[in-house]
């Protein structure tokens, strides 16, 4: 496992993880990943630190910290 600064390439895989947990697809099956990505970016933009957790070089989690 590795933590590194989040990159825009991480947004889509992390959005899938968010959708699995928060079920954005209940509101719109066609736009669920777009909603999840929008929420992710909103959280990142309001943070002081955003890191991606990589497992076998694949994004598997995110750590977002703000004060």
Structure letter (DSSP) for residue 48: S
pLDDT at 61: 96
How does pLDDT run across 29-60, given as a tens digit for each residue?
889 999 999 999 999 999 999 999 999 999 99
pLDDT at 43: 95
φ, ψ at 59 (rounded to 5°): -60, 125
Evaluate whether 51 touches 7 at the Cβ level (below 8 Å): no
């Amino acid at each position: 496992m590795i933590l590194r600064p989040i990159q825009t390439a991480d947004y889509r895989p992390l959005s899938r993880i968010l959708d699995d947990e928060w079920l954005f697809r209940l509101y719109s099956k066609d736009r669920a990943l777009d909603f999840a990505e929008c929420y992710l970016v909103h959280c990142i933009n309001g943070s002081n630190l955003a890191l991606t957790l990589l497992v076998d070089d694949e994004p598997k989690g995110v750590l977002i910290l703000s004060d």
